[in-house]
C-alpha cells in the first residue's frame, strides 16, 4: 500500500470513528471506567458538616484555625488495546473482513480514551508479540496506532492468547482498561487471563462471521486452514461432519465466555454484519 492510499484510509477511519467517539461514546466511556482513586487537590477552611478525619493538622496548627484536605477523583486512565493479527482475522463474507471491523472498533475506543485525555497503548499479537506500542497521549499517537492496524504485516499466522496475556502482565504494572479484540478461536488461556484480570479491567470483544458458525452442505470441498496453511478435502454433505464442526466451534465460544466471566472480565460478541456501535453502547450502559 503506497503512502497516499494509506493516508486516505487512515483519514476515512478517523472521520467515521472520531464522530462516533465524540458524539456517542465520550460520555459513556467517561462514566463507565473510573479513575484510579482519589488524589489530593487543596486545603480549605473547615466548614460545618466536614468529616473531621479530613482535617489537615499541620496547617491547622500553623494557622490556629481548622483546615481540611480536599480530594478529587483521579480521572487519568490507561487503555491497552490487545489486537489479534493472526490469519483467521482475514475472513469475512458479509459487510467486511473481521480485521476491518476490529480496526474500526479499536479506533473508536482509542478516540474515546483520547477525549478523556487518557493514555492509549497497543499490543498486536499472533502466536508471538508482533508489535508493542507503549501507552501515550495525543491525537498523533492514536493516528499512528490506526496506521499500524491498517498496514501491519504479521510474521506469524497462528494465535496464542495465553502468551499475549502473559506479555500484558509483564509490561503493565499499573491498572489499565484492556480491550482484547479477537475471534477467540483458541483455548488454554484461562490461567494467564485470570492473572491479568486480577490487576486490570479486561473486556474481550469477539468479532466473528456468521459463516464461521456452521458449514453449509456444499458436497466435497477443499478447505485451507488460514493459520496452519493445511489443505483438507471435507465432505460437507455429511451431517456428522457438519455437526462435529458446530460442536467444535461452540466449544471455543463457550470457553471464551466462561474464561472471561470466571476471571471477572467483560464479554462482547459482534458479527461482521452487525452494528458494533450498538454492542459497545449496550455494554457501556450495562456496566455504567
175/147 same-domain check: yes
pLDDT at residue number 237: 84
User: Dihedral of the CA atoms 13, 16, 19, 20 (nearest 10)?
Assistant: -100
Q: What is the mean pLDDT of residues 3-13?
A: 71
102 within domain boundaries:
yes
Q: Say whether both 121 and 98 belong to one domain.
A: yes
**pLDDT interval class at 92 (50, 70, 90):** very low
**149 shares a domain with 101:** yes
Structural domain boundaries enclosing 83 = 3-32+76-212+251-287
130 and 271 co-located in one domain: yes
Same-domain check for residues 14 and 56: no
DSSP 21-90: IIIIIHHHHHHHS--SEEEEEEEEE--TT--GGGB-HHHHHHHTS-EEEEEEEE---EEEEEEE-SGGGS
CATH (domain of 82)? 3.40.50.410
pLDDT-derived band of residue 30, with 50, 70 and 90 as boundaries?
low
Q: pTM, whole model, 2 decimals?
A: 0.79
Q: Please tell me which of 85-94, 157-166, 241-250 the model is most confident about, judged by mean pLDDT.
A: 157-166
Is 228 inside any structural domain? Answer: no
Residues 153 and 54 in one domain: no
What is the Cα–Cα distance from 69 to 240, expressed in whole angstroms? Answer: 70
- Residue 57 forms part of a structural domain: yes
Q: Are 80 and 109 in contact (CB under 8 A)?
A: no
pLDDT of amino acid 230: 74
The answer to the question of residue 238 being in a domain is no
Number of domains in the chain: 2
Lowest mean pLDDT among 14-23, 175-184, 268-277: 14-23
Strand 129-136 and strand 177-182: the pairing is unpaired
Give the pLDDT confidence score for residue 37 in this predicted structure.
52
Considering only residues 211 and 133, tell me which one the structure prediction assigns the higher pLDDT: 133
Whether residue 10 is contained in a domain is answered as: yes
Give the residue-averaged pLDDT of 87-115: 79
Residue 227 belongs to some domain of the structure: no
- 61 in the same domain as 172: no
CA–CA dist 229, 233 (Å, integer): 13
Are residues 41 and 28 part of one domain? Answer: no
Q: Do residue 66 and residue 52 come from a single domain?
A: yes
Q: Are 140 and 151 in contact (CB under 8 A)?
A: no
Half-sphere exposure (Cβ direction) of 32: Cα atoms closer than 13 Å: 21
What confidence score (pLDDT) does residue 166 get?
97
Q: Is the pLDDT of residue 49 over 90?
A: no
Q: Are strands 266-271 and 201-208 parallel, antiparallel or unpaired?
A: parallel
Mean pLDDT, rounded, of the chain: 85
**224 domain-assigned:** no
Share of the chain above pLDDT 70, in %: 83
Report pLDDT for 11: 75
Are 108 and 191 found together in one domain?
yes
**Any domain includes 278:** yes
pLDDT at 46 over 70: yes
Amino acid at each position: 500500500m503506497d503512502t497516499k492510499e494509506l493516508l486516505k484510509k487512515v483519514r476515512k477511519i478517523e472521520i467515521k470513528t472520531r464522530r462516533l467517539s465524540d458524539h456517542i461514546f465520550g460520555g459513556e466511556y467517561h462514566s463507565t471506567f473510573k479513575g484510579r482513586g482519589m488524589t489530593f487537590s487543596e486545603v480549605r477552611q473547615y466548614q460545618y458538616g466536614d468529616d473531621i478525619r479530613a482535617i489537615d493538622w499541620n496547617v491547622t496548627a500553623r494557622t490556629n484555625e481548622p483546615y481540611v484536605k480536599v480530594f478529587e477523583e483521579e480521572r487519568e486512565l490507561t487503555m491497552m488495546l490487545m489486537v489479534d493479527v493472526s490469519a483467521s482475522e482475514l475472513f469475512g463474507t458479509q459487510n467486511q473482513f473481521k480485521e476491518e471491523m476490529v480496526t474500526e472498533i479499536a479506533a473508536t475506543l482509542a478516540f474515546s480514551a483520547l477525549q478523556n485525555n487518557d493514555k492509549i497503548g497497543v499490543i498486536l499479537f499472533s502466536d508471538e508479540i508482533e508489535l508493542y506500542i507503549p501507552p501515550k497521549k495525543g491525537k498523533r499517537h492514536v493516528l499512528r496506532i490506526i496506521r499500524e492496524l491498517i498496514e501491519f504485516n504479521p510474521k506469524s499466522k497462528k494465535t496464542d492468547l495465553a502468551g499475549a496475556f502473559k506479555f500484558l502482565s509483564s509490561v503493565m504494572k499499573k491498572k489499565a482498561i484492556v480491550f482484547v479484540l479477537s475471534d477467540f478461536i483458541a483455548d488454554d488461556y484461562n490461567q494467564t487471563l485470570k492473572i491479568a484480570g486480577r490487576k486490570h479491567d479486561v473486556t474481550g470483544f469477539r468479532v466473528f462471521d456468521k459463516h464461521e458458525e456452521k458449514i453449509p452442505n456444499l458436497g466435497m470441498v477443499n478447505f485451507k486452514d488460514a493459520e496452519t496453511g493445511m489443505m483438507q478435502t471435507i465432505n460437507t454433505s455429511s451431517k456428522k461432519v457438519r455437526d462435529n464442526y458446530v460442536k467444535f466451534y461452540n466449544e471455543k465460544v463457550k470457553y471464551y465466555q466462561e474464561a472471561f466471566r470466571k476471571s471477572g472480565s467483560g464479554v462482547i460478541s459482534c458479527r461482521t454484519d452487525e452494528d458494533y456501535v450498538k454492542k459497545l453502547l449496550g455494554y457501556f450502559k450495562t456496566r455504567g
